[in-house]
Structure 1
Amino acid sequence: MTIASIRLYHLVAPLPETIGNALIFFDRRETLLVEVVDSSGLSGWGETWAAPAAAGAIIEAQLARGVLRQDPAHLGRLWHWMCDAAGSDTQGTAMTAVAALDMALHDLAARLREVPLSTLLGGAVRDRVPAYASGPFFKPGGHPYREFEREAEGYLRAGFRAIKLRSGFRPADDAATAIAVRRLMGREGTLMLDFNQSYTPRAALAAAEAMGPADLLWIEEPASPQDLAGYRMLAGQLRPALAGGETYGTAAEFKPFLDAGCMDVLQPDIAICGGLSGVGRVASLAELYDRPVVPHVWGGTVNFHAALHLAATLPTHRAGGAAPFPYLEFDAGPNPLLDLAGRPTVNADGTVSVPSGPGLGIDIRTEALIPHTIWHRSLDS
């Protein structure tokens, strides 16, 4: 079998209301889906939500020529070729384009073997992954935390036993909200917090120190992603684990933080960090330092399910939460792109089941994409 076609779908889904975090607000969800079709007509799917139009242009101009007419089973060779073709842009849009194609190639390779993606990745060690509700989100036009308790109650009713709050408004308000959500969850729940790079390290420290009663498992992006000195300072003074890395395009960007002992939870995004091949290198690095990997998940259902299969294969780490690592990030905000193959469900024990069908284990129908598609390209051999 060879790759006969690469199809690009730029999707945009307007939201019923504007939401965001301490840095940005948005009124839509947007992503690029990539369908790789082999000569028998079988498809594999990939995704990148970061700069989707630019990523699509890079696939068309730089990457497609080296992937078309190739054997989809040659995942390593194709990944290295794509990285070379991306040039020196290892921290920018080129790697997101590589990520989307690599993800699609993995899905196709697993479907050709008629095995789940987790099997292709080395084999699942669990058939369910603990999920955390990623939310609530800030809302403009009033106090950003005004609906957090109500929405957190909804997550708990839906079956989640872990929640990751958006934070970074004002230290006193941050702490009050985190403590209030902890009261709702009880001591048995798992609570994380994401500052989204919104604070200087000293401001993040002030907020985090006031959150002691919230009993946080981790604090995410308490400083800018390149601020090694800030992470080092915080690591020496905070009890919760420090998490980060969602913006990194390569495994190499994690290493200085691991060497300095100031990143406890590694959060590569498969749609940004070179796809499953790139994040596999992050996972290998994490094993050398005995640190857990929790993939960052944004975008739509393809990236979600890729992260679910990857998480099923990762080693277990017991780090103080109600469930051991790894966890699955479950975007709890409004997101029509997460519904394209049916909304993923949370089990009664707060986990998400790993699909047992071939590849990602989901069925993407192109007719379901039509309402959200603003442009479509077909690159044929």
Structure 2
Amino acid sequence: MKISEIRLYHLSAPLEEPIGNALIFFPNRQTLLVEIVAGGRSGWGEAWVAPATAAAMIEGQLAHHLIGQDPTHIRALWQAMREANEGDGIMTAISAVDMALHDLTARAYGIPLSSLLGGARRDKVLAYASGPFFKPGGHPYRDFEREIDGYLSEGFRALKLRSGFNPTDDVAAAFAARRQIGNEADLMIDFNQSCTAPRSISTAALMEEARLLWVEEPVTPTDLQGYRLAARQIETAIAGGEAIMNPAGFLPFLADGCMDILQPDIAICGGLTGVGQVVALAQMHNRPVIPHVWGSTVNFHAALHLLSTLPRHRAGGQQPFPYLEYDVGPNPLLELAGRPKVNADGTVSLPEGPGLGIELDASVLEPYVVSRKIISE
């Protein structure tokens, strides 16, 4: 079995109303889906950061390492792509290719992706609602109560608020959410890189009685000193790492003990091969990994399969980690294979089919295709 084609689909799904956080608003949802074809089978991967750039990198810098090669030689291909390209900017493109190779290989073997990753330890994973999001025009928190009611009715037992608007309203929103979800659910907040360390520290201190499970991205991703300061003074666990492209980028945070929960994104940090390296580092330092999940159903299901294989980690939540980030904002790209269902116990079940366990084809993508490219011999 040899790779015969690489098909690139740049997708964009406009939203009725922009959504965002304290740093940025999104008028649409965009991603690059990568379909790798070999032996009459396809595997799917994703790069949602700068999709047009990732597509150009795959065509210009990665494709010649792949066409004609055995797709099951995943690690060898990953190393070849990594060694031939300097810098971490290539990692989103490698991530998409690596994800697709994993999906294709598992499909070729007729097994779920979780089996290829070493075997599932659980057949369902507790999901947390990643939302509500800020709204433009008027108060950004104005729909939080209504939207949280919706998440609870869907079955979610944990949620992560966007925060960082201003300390007074941030604190009020956290306490309102805690009252609304009750004492038996988990509550987290995400500053989305929007604050300085002193502001994150002072705001988190005022939120202590809301019993937060973690505080996410209290400072910008490269501010190691800020993470150190936050970790020393914030009582709640510190989470971060979604913007780190190189698995080795987690090492300084682990060495300093200033990141309690590691959140690599499979579509950013080298795919399942790269995030597998982060998992190994995390286990050496007794830290849980909870992948950041954004983009489409492809990245979502890749994270779900990976999480099914990770060990239990007791870190203060209502249940032991791992948890699955479920983007609850409006997102047609999450629904390309049907919206993932939340069970009555707040979990999402692992698909039983081969590979990612979802079926995609070009016709499903068509309404959102901005551009496409087929690369072949």
For residues 85 and 13 of structure 2, the distance between their equivalents in structure 1, rounded to whole angstroms, comes to: 29
RMSD (CA atoms): 0.7
Measured after TM superposition, the shift of residue 86 of structure 1 is: 2.4
Who is 1:242 aligned against? 238
The letter for the 2-side match of 1:24 is I
Who is 1:48 aligned against? 47
The answer to whether the 8 A contact 1:9-1:377 is kept is yes
Who is 1:131 aligned against? 127
Measured after TM superposition, the shift of residue 4 of structure 1 is: 0.5
How is 1:1-381 mapped onto 2 (pairs within 5 angstroms)?
1-38=1-38, 40-87=39-86, 89-90=87-88, 92=89, 94-381=90-377
Measured after TM superposition, the shift of residue 85 of structure 1 is: 2.4
For residues 117 and 34 of structure 1, the distance between their equivalents in structure 2, rounded to whole angstroms, comes to: 17
For residues 360 and 132 of structure 1, the distance between their equivalents in structure 2, rounded to whole angstroms, comes to: 20
For residues 192 and 86 of structure 1, the distance between their equivalents in structure 2, rounded to whole angstroms, comes to: 37
- What secondary structure is seen at the aligned counterpart in 2 of 1:86? coil
The answer to whether the 8 A contact 1:86-1:95 is kept is no
TM-score (norm 1): 0.98
Deviations 1:39-72 (A, max 9, x none): x210000001000000000000010011010001
For residues 28 and 280 of structure 2, the distance between their equivalents in structure 1, rounded to whole angstroms, comes to: 35
- What secondary structure is seen at the aligned counterpart in 2 of 1:155? helix
The answer to whether the 8 A contact 1:172-1:210 is kept is no
TM-score (norm 2): 0.99
The letter for the 1-side match of 2:19 is I
Question: Identity over aligned residues, as a percent?
Answer: 63
The letter for the 2-side match of 1:74 is H
The letter for the 1-side match of 2:314 is R
The answer to whether the 8 A contact 1:318-1:324 is kept is yes
For residues 170 and 114 of structure 1, the distance between their equivalents in structure 2, rounded to whole angstroms, comes to: 51
- Aligned residue pairs total 377
Structure 1: gaps spanning 5 or more residues: none
For residues 180 and 240 of structure 1, the distance between their equivalents in structure 2, rounded to whole angstroms, comes to: 18
Deviations 1:291-333 (A, max 9, x none): 0000000000000000000000111101111111111000000
For residues 227 and 292 of structure 2, the distance between their equivalents in structure 1, rounded to whole angstroms, comes to: 19
- What secondary structure is seen at the aligned counterpart in 2 of 1:82? helix
- What secondary structure is seen at the aligned counterpart in 2 of 1:36? strand
For residues 245 and 180 of structure 1, the distance between their equivalents in structure 2, rounded to whole angstroms, comes to: 28
The answer to whether the 8 A contact 1:64-1:379 is kept is yes
Structure 2: gaps spanning 5 or more residues: none
For residues 85 and 279 of structure 2, the distance between their equivalents in structure 1, rounded to whole angstroms, comes to: 22
The letter for the 2-side match of 1:85 is A
Measured after TM superposition, the shift of residue 365 of structure 1 is: 1.9
